[in-house]
Structure 1
Amino acid sequence: MSPFLAELVGTAILIILGAGVCAGVNLKKSFAQNSGWIVITMGWGLAVAVGVYAVGQYSGAHLNPAVTLGLAFKGDFPWKDVPSYILAQFLGAMIGSAIVYLHYLPHWKATNDPGVKLGVFATGPAIPHYFSNLLSEMIGTFVLVVGILSIGANKFTDGLNPFIVGFLIVSIGLSLGGTTGYAINPARDLGPRIAHFLLPIHGKGSSNWGYAWIPVVGPALGGSFGGVFYKAVFEGKMTQALWWILAVILVVLAVSLLLDKGEKESIKEKRLTA
Structure 2
Amino acid sequence: MSLGSIFFSELIGTAILILLGVGVVANAVFPKNNGFGGGNLMINFGWGFGVMAGVYAAYKSGGQLNPAVTLGIWASGAKTFVPGVDVNAGSIAVYISAQLIGAFIGAVLCWLAYKKQFDDRGDAPSLIFSTGPQIKSTPWNLVTEILATFVLMFGALSFGAWNGGKGTILEALPVAFLVVGIGASLGGPTGYAINPARDLGPRIAHAILPIPNKDSSNWAYAWIPVVGPIIGGILGGLIFHWYHG
TM-score by length of 2: 0.91
1:251-266 equivalent positions in 2, closer than 5 A: none
For 1:143 and 1:79, how far apart are their aligned partners in 2? 24
Structure 2 partner of 1:121: 129
Which residue is equivalent to 1:179? 189
Q: Deviations over 1:39-69 (max 9, x none)?
A: 000000000001111112x101100000000
Residue equivalent to 2:67: 65
Which structure has the larger Rg?
1
| Percent of residue pairs identical | 50
Q: Deviations over 1:127-169 (max 9, x none)?
A: 111011000000000000000001111139x864211110010
2:94 to 55, 80, 84: 84
State whether structure 2 residue 6 is matched by structure 1 residue 3. yes
Name the stretch that deviates more: 160-169 or 143-152: 160-169
Aligned match of 1:216 in 207, 223, 226? 226
d(CA) in 1 for partners of 2:31, 2:178: 30
- What SS is found at the alignment partner of 2:134? coil
**Of 155, 160, 179, which aligns to 1:152?**
160
Matched position secondary structure for 1:43? helix
Unmatched tracts of structure 2, length 5 or more = 82-86
- Deviating 4+ runs (over 6 angstroms): none
- 1:45·1:168 contact (CA, 8 Å) conserved in 2? yes
Unaligned 5+ residue runs, structure 1? 236-274
Q: Is the 8 A contact 2:28 2:36 kept in 1?
A: yes
TM-score, scaled relative to structure 1:
0.82
Identify if the C-alpha distance between structure 1 residues 160 and 85 changes in structure 2 by more than 3 Å, giving closer, same or farther.
closer
In the TM superposition, what are the counterparts of 1:1-274 in structure 2 within 5 Å? 2-56=5-59, 58-76=60-78, 77=81, 78-80=87-89, 81-114=91-124, 117-155=125-163, 160-235=170-245
Contact 1:28–1:110, Cα closer than 8 Å, also in 2: no
| Equivalence for 2:84 | none
The DSSP-based 3-state class of the residue aligned with 2:58 is: helix
Going by fraction, where is helix more abundant, 1 or 2?
Answer: 1
User: Conserved in 2, the CA contact under 8 Å of 1:14 and 1:50?
Assistant: yes
In 2, distance between residues paired with 1:104 and 1:69?
A: 33
Separation of aligned partners in 2, 1:201 and 1:131: 32
Tell me the CA shift for residue 93 of structure 1.
0.3
CA distance in 2, matches of 1:60, 1:9: 12
> Is the Cα–Cα contact under 8 Å of residues 27 and 35 in structure 2 kept in the other structure?
yes
1:207-243 per-position Cα deviation (integer Å, ceiling 9, x unaligned): 00000000000001110111011101222xxxxxxxx
Query: CA shift at 1:38, angstroms?
Result: 0.4
Alignment partners' CA distance in 2, 1:69 and 1:208: 26
The two structures, once aligned, show a CA RMSD in angstroms of: 1.4
Distance, in Å, in 2 between the alignment partners of 1:221 and 1:227 is 10
**Cα shift readout 1:57-95 (whole Å, capped 9, x = no counterpart):** x10110000000000111224023101110000000000
SS in 2 for 1:208: coil
CA contact (8 A) 2:62 2:169 kept: no
Provide the rounded CA distance (Å) in 1 between the counterparts of 2:143 and 2:105.
29
How far apart are the structure 2 equivalents of 1:127 and 1:168? 25
Contact 2:123 2:212 in 1 (8 A): no
The answer to which structure, 1 or 2, has the higher relative contact order (CA under 8 A, 6+ apart) is 2
